[in-house]
Structure 1
Amino acid sequence: MSSLRDHLQACGQDELLAQLRRLAPVSYEEFVSTLYEDLDQLIGLVEADAKDFQDASEDELNRELVRLLNARFYAASHDHDEGGHVDVRVRSRDGRFSWLAEAKLDNGPAYLSKGVDQLTERYVRGTPGHHCGGFLVYVQKARCAERFATWRQHLAANASSFEDLTVEDCKSRQGLAFYSEFVLPRLGTGVPKYRIRHIAVTAFREANAP
């Protein structure tokens, strides 16, 4: 497999190489990093059609994102039972790796906190190969970045609710994504901390916009 990868890279076949990473990731880190690159592009497609999603429900937005992920040959599903019905699940084709995400419409920090609690207390395993996830915040109002910054501030201010919490920037989606990492109580220390990528999705368009 590595020789094929080397050949594709040498020939400048970047999209074929990316497809190989989607279908047969060699590590969890590759699985997650490739997923995040794709996810940012797919979220961009949703944001480009914000006028179609400004009044959409969480489920409608989740289904659209899952549809786009499956179109890129991910094994993605909505409402899959993982100790409860998780909003978005993405697995590697061989089942070795998984990534789960909970999603909420932005109805303020207290409401968003319930989504993180659902994700970490009910759905995720957190074991190696399953220790990264996502929290999608669908913002259907103006000033998305400012609203999302309020969520980050709220999370950091409630650090005592999480064991060994760290919060850091996401360079690839500056101001519209960040990472949090902490120890899952069900596992404790000695394994990788659970890492969440919090992502704002702008689903707002001015009424008089073209």
Structure 2
Amino acid sequence: MNYNQSQLARMVHEIVLSKMKEELSEISDKYDIPVEDIEKLAISLYVKDVSKSQWKSSNARFIKLYEKEVELLFDNGIINFSEMGFMVFLSLKFTTYEDNTLRNKDGSLCTQKDIIDLSGMTKPTVSRTLKGLIEKKLIFEKKHDQVKNGKKYMISPYIFYKGRLMDRNLKQKFQGLNQLFVDTWKNKLPDNNEIETNENNFEFDTEEFLSLIEKEIVNQHSESLDSNYTYN
């Protein structure tokens, strides 16, 4: 009979464990050690499949892409390959660790001009792509604090996320809006800027929503953020 590596590892584990129990019983008899004393000992056994190894170092930088949500977007025709490539580019080049705000390497808030300069894409293409992704609730925008008529952006953490942790209040706000995103991606929402109430019946629009989550980020990271790009 042929066994896969998982089945083989399990079989070896059970056999060795059985032999170990027999040995412990013999120790009890040979050295006159009460069985209850031996039973108080915790012995762990781990059979490792060495046919596999870690692909990259655990310290390697990464950006998470969430399979279920991306499948939903493609299955419902919400996003195309060009838009997905654009979001990958933004995630790699601009996404801030653990808050998903788009920033430049120097910490300044990313603008459309920054995206155009770094990507080499034309202004109409960048503007059109951003507009479409904002309407689909895949990117959020808000007025820029320092650039006149400029916008600042945050990529949806439901699609891409850089880091392992998220501020609890920020997480709760996104979870409260989960159905909004799902409905938007299934083309169920009317064409307006209103956001449905969360489970606490607190109503707010996109602009107010971004203001709230930005305040939470600032409260948590105020000591480390430079005053030149503090949110208002």
**TM-score between the two structures when normalised by the length of structure 2:** 0.29
Higher Cα Rg, which structure: 2
More strand by share: 1
**TM-score between the two structures when normalised by the length of structure 1:** 0.31
